[in-house]
Structure formats: C-alpha cells, structure tokens
Amino acid sequence: MAATISTAKRRQLGRPVSIVGAGLSRFGAFRDMTTRDLFVEAFQDLIDHMDQGIDVEDIECGYIGNYSSDLFEGQGHTAPILADWLGMTPTPITRIENACASSGSALREGIMAIASGMYDVVLVGGVEKMTDLPTEGVTDVLASAADGLYEVPAGLTFPGIYGALAKAHMDRYETSLAHLAKVGIKNHTNGALNPKAQFNTTLLDMMERRKARAEQQGQPVPDWRDEMDFLNDPRANPWIAWPLRLYDCAPITDGASCVLLVSSEIANNFTDKPVHVVGTGQASGRPLHDAEELTSLSAAREAAAQAYAMAGVTPRDIQVAEVHDCFTIAEIIATEDLGFFEPGEGPRAVDEGRTALTGDRPINTSGGLKAKGHPVGASGVAQVIETFHQLRGEAGPRQVPNTNLELGLTHNVGGTGGTCVVNILRRG
C-alpha cells in the first residue's frame, strides 16, 4: 500500500530553519567553464536575486555537494577553492559526497548546523562539471557510485541498473514503454518553460526540427505524427539498456546550485517571503544486488517517513514535488515510494495526467533531471530551488496554477538507492 512509509521516530529541529535566497547557473555543456566558474555563476545569481541583499561576510559556514571533481576534472579539495573564488575565506566550507544525493546531503548538514544553534547563516550548494570526459568516461565515473565489489564487475552501469528496475516494475505492475515515454514527454514540456534547463524545448519541437533538417539536407523525411511515433523510432530514440531508450535517460550536464539558509528568527532580515524547512529525512539503503525488491527503494521510503513525521503531514498534503528522475522509471517509482500513489498506480497516474503541471500532483515542474539536466552534485539543491520558487509564486510560465500552494517536497537519490534525502518545505 502507499503507506509503505515506515513508522519513523519523530525528530524535530532544535530551532526552525528557513531558505531566504536561491541561485542557479545555466545547466548544459560548457566546455570553457570549470567547477569554480559554474559555482560562482550560481552564487552570483543568488546574490543578484536576494530580496533585501546579503553581505558575503555574514555567511558563517558552507556545505557544497560534489560527487567527483576528482575524477571528472582531476581536482580534489574542491570546497576551499570555491571559498577562495567566492571571496569567503576564512569561512569554513566543506565538500559533501553522497553520489547523486551529494547536495541533498549537504543541505541536511546546513539545516543541522543552524538547528544546532552553532550558526545563523549558512550557504549550501552543489556543483558538477561532467562534460570534460567522453560519454564512456562519464559512465565509468558514475558507475563508481555502485557497489564496486559486486555490481560493477558484473558489468552493471546505471542505465543497466535502472533498466532492471524498469523490467521488474513492468513484470509486477504491467508498466509499459508508453508510460515511460509519457514521463519524458511531460518533463520536456515542463523543461521548455525553464530558461535554465539544458533541454528547454518540447519533444514535439525536437521532432519537428529533426524532420525539417532531414528535408533541408535532401534526406527522407520521417513520417512521425507525434511524440510517441518519434520516441518509438529506434533511429531517433535508440535502446540504451532495455527497456530504457535514449530519451528515458537524464543527460550529462554541467551546472551549479546554491541556497542561503538562516535561522527562521532572522529570516525577515533577508526577505518578506521566506520558505521554511519543516521536514527533512535521510536514509541509507542496500546496494541493488542485496535489495529486498526492485520496484521500490527502501531508503526513499524511510527518508520520506522521517520527513513526513517531522513536518506532521501526510503524502496527500504535498502539493508539488521535485523527484529524482535520473531515468523515467525512477520518477514512477519515486511517486509510489513517497506515498503519492499506491504501488503500481504510478504509471496510471501518468496516463491520467495527474503528475502534469495542471494535474492534482504536479511532479518535476522544472523539467526534472530528465530535461532540466543532471549535474549530479548540484541536483538535490536545484530541486529545492524549484520548490522555493513555486512556493513563492515566482516560477513564471511553469508556475503551478494553485493559488493556495503551501507545501512542497524534494526527493534526491544517490547511487543504486543507497542514499535518499527528502525535504518538505512550507511557504512562509
């Protein structure tokens, strides 16, 4: 049942924490930029959009999510380098690594730093520069987040891992290739409304451009009638790891994200529209080879239970959510693990349009990892930024059409489900 959410001990923050500012770099492939360039861009975006300004010297501490600048760029000890480039030395800044949940975990550290009373103003962010390596190199780096003793030697890559999850979901719940395709169509539709997204275009527009290019080059023009025709054509959408195709996979992305956390008692010094952290949970799960089942991630269920208990809410109270759709099947599984839908009902919810921007449970309004992009170390905080803007009513053309929007949730997964961080945010 959807209450696969466990009975978690109700933990509470020592004092309330609020988000008062957010900054995001462009997401995409930027050959001429480094990790430090990307993070400076995100930080400058935060500074430029603070409602009442911020003096950099007032920031007391920082946590930066980064999966592997060591392997992607050959640069370790990233945090103090970023501190120097931001003009923040000698402020302590620490790098947090938890695979694709690195910045989600960094956010948790920032929340606890303020809740403990040690700091009042904390910068939290994430960054990844992935495109310096060829695709096979990126695949190898990401595979290091899987179990190197049992999974990697067996030849499992992340497309292969999530392909296995998709096949298991298909076998148990009659999930189809069409359901996966519809998730991709939805998220590209949302991403087309996001100026920071790597793919800020719809799949329909991509299809039409491919047809126009073929005609201009004097080649046979494909007879695709709609996005489903396009996605079902193996020439346009080749198999990556059955049953996943190219457009089921999040892209390789460069990007950075950051938010400013403060003690809620001083939030009004920075903005009249703070967003409060009312629930947070983090859990660890077994590697895929040792998991109890393949149609659910135990860490996600446990982290969600912790966050719901802290916030004193239930899944039905959540009005908008950003979930970790590194692959289209991951979004479907997430919506079930979070208790939004009963196990096996996630695909039906996609069919019914319930997860669309105008549905009753909007999911990945930013375009998700699938269209917005997935610079792995930055993704968790980027999810929080989208939710921050949605709750403040400033998401522009992708704003959820709900004038009573109050509660949002983020779900950030690392590795083969070994880490999951869930946060619940409330409009101030």
Residues with active-site annotation: 100, 374
Tell me how far apart the alpha carbons of residues 128 and 68 are, in angstroms, rounded to a whole number. Answer: 8
How many other CB atoms sit within 10 Å of the CB of residue 170?
A: 18
How many other CB atoms sit within 10 Å of the CB of residue 4?
A: 18
Please list, in sequence order, all residues whose beta carbon lies within 8 angstroms of the beta carbon of residue 394, skipping any fewer than 6 positions away: none
Tell me how far apart the alpha carbons of residues 44 and 41 are, in angstroms, rounded to a whole number. Answer: 5
CA distances from 248 to 176, 177, 186, 231, 296 (A): 13, 10, 12, 9, 18
356: Cα separation from own chain's centroid = 17
CA distances from 60 to 15, 17, 380 (A): 17, 15, 22
Please list, in sequence order, all residues whose beta carbon lies within 8 angstroms of the beta carbon of residue 396, skipping any fewer than 6 positions away: 193
SS3 425: strand
The encoded tokens of residue 220 equal 């046979």
Tell me how far apart the alpha carbons of residues 256 and 275 are, in angstroms, rounded to a whole number. Answer: 21
Tell me how far apart the alpha carbons of residues 40 and 146 are, in angstroms, rounded to a whole number. Answer: 30
The DSSP code sequence of 304-344 is: HHHHHHHHT--GGG--EEE---SBHHHHHHHHHHTTSS-TT
**First CA to last CA distance, the chain:** 32
Eight-state DSSP code of residue 397: G
Tell me how far apart the alpha carbons of residues 246 and 239 are, in angstroms, rounded to a whole number. Answer: 6
Whether the Cβ atoms of residue 276 and residue 408 lie closer than 8 Å to each other:
no
The encoded tokens of residue 315 equal 């899944």
Tell me how far apart the alpha carbons of residues 107 and 123 are, in angstroms, rounded to a whole number. Answer: 9
Tell me how far apart the alpha carbons of residues 192 and 209 are, in angstroms, rounded to a whole number. Answer: 15
SS3 216: helix
